[in-house]
Amino acid sequence: MKKTFSLAMLIVGTIIGAGFASGKEISTFFGDKISPIIAPIVGVGIFVLCYLFCTIGRTFKGKDFGEVNQKMFGKAHVMIDIILLLNSLIVLSGMLSGMDSLLDTILPISPAYSIISGALCAVIVAKGLSGLLKGNSFIVPFIILFIVLVCGFNISSPIEAPCLTPPDLPYSALYICMNIMLASTVLTTVDEKPKTVFWASAIAAVIMTALMLIIILTLNGSNTSGSDMPLVSIASGTDKALYYVAVGAVATSIFTTMMTAMNGLSSWLAPLTGKKFAVIASLLLGLTVGNFGFANVVAYLYPIIGLFGFIYVIASVIALKRPSFEKLLDKRNRKVHNGGKKA
């Protein structure tokens, strides 16, 4: 049960970064008025893909996602690694710049916020996956509580909820794949029993569905979709104490996603530089690219990550099916060969 909970919190912590907890991701992908039906659609997608990538990790077994990709894609793994590397760097940079953008509203001393949070993140990541699991198990429940509190005071349930539109389905697919791109760098290194993976994925999917639903209902009742961080803007206009709760929630969610992004980037660099230097190099790269800005990353680069993620998911499904196909083909060949002998 403890392993199941830890894995579920790792999945949730990876997805609810600054973009999700602030509402910016959701408003960017789905617009001003969002159909509540999108929440369960995304939840089902998260369950399926989390289970898929944990299964891939158990099937191909590797010490890091680079090794897993090499086993899955052979010589083509270099291209996949580069895509995942860029994804981790983009997300890490967005989280670091997001921390500065968020906390500067209280006391403008950036880039101190990104440097301090990035250094703390590097210490946790240097300890490996166990550090990520422990960190998320402690942090994520508080993030969930904060989001519920912020949305609970501002939630709106219109009499006529927006209907699902044709573009919502492809946008949902891109949104799910975008989040899974980052999570896959960790999930493919998880080697747990199928039962543990199933329930952890299910728990994470239910939590994400519920959180996304209340965020959608909150955004639909406001006019803050154009803001860098809509939920924070909503809280600032409601109550000062609630505003600080919102800032705390988003800052904490930034940190959990920052851990996963840095873990993915440093895992790729580790064979070239060593684990400790890889973590330091990841931090320096993230701080450098972070000058692009949080809002720009979410608006312009996240949809591209979603497209890459969709391609990666399809390629991964094909790769996962290949061992089963080869095993079946080998079995049939042996059957034909044995049959020939009897004849």
Does a structural domain hold residue 269?
Answer: yes
Q: Which domain holds residue 154?
A: 2-13+29-321
Least reliable range by pLDDT among 170-179, 272-281, 304-313, 326-335: 326-335
Instruction: Decide which of 104 and 189 is more confident.
Output: 104
Single out the residue of 205, 227, 206, 208 nearest to residue 216, CA to CA: 208
Instruction: Tell me the pLDDT band of 343, cut-offs 50, 70 and 90.
Output: very low
Does a structural domain hold residue 21?
Answer: no
The pLDDT score that the predictor gives to residue 109 is 92
Q: How far is CA 132 from the centre of its chain?
A: 13
15, 179 in Cβ contact below 8 A?
A: yes
- Alpha-carbon span 222 to 219, nearest angstrom: 5
pLDDT at 329 over 70: no
Arithmetic mean of pLDDT, 318-339: 59
Instruction: Decide which of 327 and 253 is more confident.
Output: 253
Arithmetic mean of pLDDT, 290-312: 83
Helix (H) or strand (E) holding 27: helix 24-30
Please write the tens of the pLDDT for every residue from 297-307. Answer: 778 888 888 88
Instruction: Decide which of 157 and 16 is more confident.
Output: 16
Does a structural domain hold residue 155?
Answer: yes
Does a structural domain hold residue 340?
Answer: no
Instruction: Decide which of 227 and 306 is more confident.
Output: 306
Counting other chains too, the contacts that 66-72 makes at CB distance below 8 Å and 24 or more residues apart are 66/267, 66/268, 66/271, 68/188, 68/189, 69/188, 72/315, 72/316, 72/319, 72/320
Does a structural domain hold residue 277?
Answer: yes
Answer yes or no: pTM beyond 0.85.
Answer: no
Q: Tokens standing for 218? A: 């909150």
Least reliable range by pLDDT among 78-82, 156-160, 246-250: 156-160
Distances (CA, A) of 248 to 60, 133, 229, 327: 39, 21, 13, 51
Q: Which residue has the tokens 């492809």?
A: 170
Please write the tens of the pLDDT for every residue from 172-200. Answer: 999 999 888 877 877 887 777 888 889 99
Q: Tokens standing for 150? A: 């912020």
pLDDT at 275 over 60: yes
- Alpha-carbon span 7 to 332, nearest angstrom: 38
Tell me the average pLDDT of the chain. 82
Does a structural domain hold residue 328?
Answer: no
Arithmetic mean of pLDDT, 213-231: 82
Angle between helices 240-273 and 275-289 (to 10 degrees): 130
pLDDT at 330 over 80: no
Give the chain's length. Answer: 343
φ/ψ of residue 173, rounded to 5: -60, -45
Instruction: Tell me the pLDDT band of 223, cut-offs 50, 70 and 90.
Output: confident
Read off the CATH number of the domain in which 200 is found: 1.10.4160.10
- Alpha-carbon span 216 to 169, nearest angstrom: 16
Q: Rank 21-25, 226-230, 240-244, 307-311 by mean pLDDT and report only the highest.
A: 307-311
Does a structural domain hold residue 181?
Answer: yes
- Alpha-carbon span 116 to 252, nearest angstrom: 13
What is the tally of structural domains in the chain?
A: 1
Does a structural domain hold residue 148?
Answer: yes
